Amino acid sequence: MFVTFEGPEGAGKSSVIRNLSERLDAQGVRHLCTREPGAGTFGKAVRSLLLEGEGIEPRAEVFLFLADRSEHISHIVRPALDRGEVVLCDRHADSTVVYQGHARGFDVELLRQWNQFATGGLRPDLTLLLDLPAEIGLARLTNKDRLDAEPLEFHQRVRQGFLKEAGLEPDRWRTVDASRPLEEVAEACWQAISHSMGR
């Protein structure tokens, strides 16, 4: 089962994934925790270009995210799914539609097509949207990267973009109120995953 976690900055995706990984371990469920961008040697190199570089041309940014995704799916996600593992992925294709589309202004339909090309058609079985106001998420961050440093209006468009995408495909998305304490957010995500796993 392929589960992706999306949401604005500081929503708690990484913390929730760590919590869920412990729960899956306790139940003996084999799983892989991964992320975009930044998995594997290729992903780490692309991540440093994307988040630590200065003044990347916005079209180049799109293609770097897509290149990372293509490598990540082929070499890390598909092999894990083929081994029967549950894959928990911190950000994926919806982040491109939202950040580069809804927030930066590139054509959303074009980005969907490029995502399809990059993933070879693989789609998440479940996408958890950790939703919270941009101000709350940004206030949680201690180290800001290049994208975190965008103006507040950018992050507000990100939040609205995710809510819009979730509304378009309600069978795949579950929206969780991520402004609550971490344990409550993790429990809500756990319930959604358990339901999808038929447990």
Q: Which residues bind ligand Z5A (CB under 6 A)?
A: 9-15, 36-37, 51, 65, 90-91, 95-96, 99-100, 140-141, 145, 147-148, 181-182, 185
Provide the minimum distance between the beta carbon of 173 and ligand Z5A in the complex, in angstroms, as a whole number. Answer: 16
CB of 84 to ligand Z5A, least distance (A): 25
Minimum CB–partner distance for residue 81 and ligand Z5A (Å): 19
CB of 14 or CB of 156, closer to ligand Z5A:
14
- Nearer to ligand Z5A by Cβ, of 1 and 147: the residue is 147
Closest to ligand Z5A by CB, 84 vs 142, is 142
Q: Which residue is nearest to ligand Z5A (CB)?
A: 12
DSSP one-letter string for the chain:
-EEEEE-STTS-HHHHHHHHHHHHHHTT--EEEEETTT-HHHHHHHHHHHHH-SS--HHHHHHHHHHHHHHHIIIIIHHHHHTT-EEEEES-HHHIIIIIIIIT---HHHHHHHHHHHHTT---SEEEEEE--HHHHHHH-SS--TTTTS-HHHHHHHHHHHHHHHHH-TTTEEEEETTS-HHHHHHHHHHHHHHHTT-
- The smaller minimum CB distance to ligand Z5A, of residues 63 and 83, is found at 63
